[in-house]
Amino acid sequence: MSEARVSIEKLAFGGSGVGRIDGKVCFVPYSCPGDELLVRITAEKRSYLNASIIDIIIPSSRRVTPSCPLFGRCGGCDWQHVDYDCQLEAKRSILADALWRGARVPVELVRETIASPLRYGYRSRVQFKLHGRSQRLQIGFFRQGSHFVEDAPAGCPIALPVINQALQRLREVLAEFPEPDMIPQINIDCGDHGAVAIVNYIGRDADRTAAFFKKKFSSLSPLTGLYLQTGRKATLCRVCGDDLLVYGLPDGHGGECSLGFRPGGFSQVNGLQNRAILALIRQFAAFGGHERILDLYCGNGNFSLPLAGEVAHLTGIEEYPDSIAAAVDNARRNGIQNAEFLCSDATAGITRLAGEGRGVFDTVILDPPRSGAADAVGALVRSGAEKIIYVSCDPSTLARDCGHLSGSGYQVLASVPVDMFPQTYHLESVTLLQRV
């Protein structure tokens, strides 16, 4: 492939830096705005180029030294080489560009990115890959673009310290396990006061494996629980210790709402930024105490249950039974009596409520998966909500859905990027839409 010189102008969703070669957009991984680079063209498409760095001719003033020795090989982080203020600016720009392209939202309606108080050591859920035998066991992450496991002997810099401590204990125990090549993956999930490991086992003797880890559990501190998974998520089985992870969120009255989730269930990976998102929802909603609110894709009630004391009634809809069970348990744990939860996909759930004469809401909160909420937009509009507060982890699907909603009588009033994932291109956002 040919070589060329390129100046990097900005960062793109996906992690690469962006420049132009002979007028054509060029994406360069691990580059930084302000870099002057010599690159090798690795792919030429009709409308863009991909390239890799041969030499940094003039480094950007915004380059910093990555904290992780695996950076550039591990497929996890994209931007450890970029100073943090530049990361925040890039995330606002990415969100603003997506909203303009997909929904014609003016850039001035996109606020500054809310920075994470922790730039490293924030992640409360990590999936480690394993490869090899006892004396040469590699535990870490897949190399970029491959299934080769890069060993991470010191753990992961963006993980909570308790996760790295638990990983070290697991390394020591796995050195005695008779078939470590039958464990391809270990997940570690954390609450505020506990950490649970899920050991994925593909061998033939699950009972012996469970007995081994139960015997060794006292050596696995700071883990407070351990599960074994032998296939799909339905095979998840507790071996010992905690069967619930708990964290707290402000309840709006000076107290804390205690929320639990089962190991292997969904939870936000950055606890402090989860609080920041809840604060934005409160600010945008400006509840007066009389509202009926709908929480679509409600999970364990993460965003709606802390708001229960500020509204008349809340309804949560979620299609995963385990998450609904957790939401019901969380309402009971906190003595919340003005909440109900339906196990259903979003559209069917809203349609069912409408058929029962209970389908009108003042405010809708939704936090859909990465694919967005396109299938539910029509039902959302029929709910009659004055406000829609859209929590998103994907700018493009958010923009698409806002475009559909703007064609159905809603207007974006504000959108706020939230840096849930420092050192990566991923971002969360909270967008307020108002019926016009």
Looking at the annotation, which residues are catalytic? 393
Q: Contact 24/5 with Cβ under 8 angstroms?
A: no
Handedness of CA 96, 97, 100, 102 (dihedral sign): negative
Extract the tokens encoding 431: 């967008």
Helix (H) or strand (E) holding 103: helix 84-103
Q: How many residues does the chain have?
A: 436
Q: Supply the DSSP string of 321-336, one letter for each residue.
A: HHHHHHHHHHHHHTT-
Q: Is 128 exposed, middle or buried (0-12, 13-18, 19+ CB in 10 A)?
A: buried
User: What is the pairing mode between strands 387-392 and 339-343?
Assistant: unpaired
Residue 154, number of CB atoms within 10 A of its CB: 13
Q: Contact 229/277 with Cβ under 8 angstroms?
A: no
Extract the tokens encoding 356: 């029962």
Measured between alpha carbons, how far is residue 207 from residues 212, 228, 347 in Å? 9, 10, 42
Residue 58, number of CB atoms within 10 A of its CB: 10
Q: Is 99 exposed, middle or buried (0-12, 13-18, 19+ CB in 10 A)?
A: buried
